[in-house]
Amino acid sequence: ALFQGLRTPEAAQWCAENFHKKLLPRLAEKIHVYKTEELQEILEATLSELDTEVMKSAFPFSGCSALLALLLGNRLIVAGVGDCRVLLLEGEGKASSASRLLDCEGHLEDEEEQ
């Protein structure tokens, strides 16, 4: 998990300290094999719940970009909000061999206008 604070670090710090409390119970609901789509939904629901709680907290004007990655067997599932990008470097880890897995762009100006 990666959380980058916006304006102030409080929201990112809170998310970093609490995301596992939201994610692990969801993963524990089903012990057997998950479909990749189900895992994607779990990560997205976790991010949504974190957002809801940050907005109710003492620091709603702080914010953060968030990225969650889950490696389960041979599957890598990622979800993010805000400004974040995930690249998978293959082989010798050179940028020319990168595969884009996720590209999110959050713009504070756009969100404030809505």
Over the chain (114 residues), what is each successive 10-residue block's mean pLDDT?
Answer: 87 92 92 87 93 84 86 87 78 64 52 36
SS percent in the chain: helix, strand, coil, step 5: 45, 30, 25
User: What amino acid occupies position 50?
Assistant: L
Closest C-alpha to 44, from 21, 67, 24: 67
> What is the reported pLDDT for 89?
75
**What's the confidence (pLDDT) of residue 114?**
31
